[in-house]
Amino acid sequence: MEALDIRQLLSELGEVESEMKALTDRRDSIRTTLGEIMAQRDGEKLVVDGLGTVSITKDRTSVKYDTKVLDAFVAQCLKDGDIHTAKAISEARTESTSKGYLVVKKEW
């Protein structure tokens, strides 16, 4: 019974994802057209009363560091007796946990 339920659910999931793809494609097309309109306006914010606003954000740069390289550097600092540098880098370290999620690989 459970195998039949899973088969039916996977089939239904495929149908829903197919419908979603069509909607996503349409949304992307609309967003592309809006982006082209905004580019012609040099990014000037557009306000449409009762519907919302359209704007383009400025480019931004993010910086990332290789955790393994920094961990090795901290270890080397400790080995060399440079406790202050190792401590300063270690105190700047942050960690976050991502919740696990269901993975469904399509064969259809």
The per-residue pLDDT for range 43-72, each reduced to its tens digit, is 788 899 998 999 988 889 999 999 999 999
Alpha-carbon span 49 to 52, nearest angstrom: 6
Give the E-state strand segments of the chain in sequence order. 46-48, 52-54
105: in domain = no
Domain housing 10: 1-58
Domain shared by 44 and 21, yes or no: yes
Stated pTM of the model: 0.58
Alpha-carbon span 31 to 23, nearest angstrom: 12
Domain shared by 2 and 41, yes or no: yes
CA distances from 87 to 46, 50, 57, 64, 69 (A): 49, 54, 37, 20, 16
Which of 58, 52, 56 is closest to 35 using CA atoms? Answer: 56
Number of domains in the chain: 2
The answer on pLDDT for 3 being more than 80 is: no
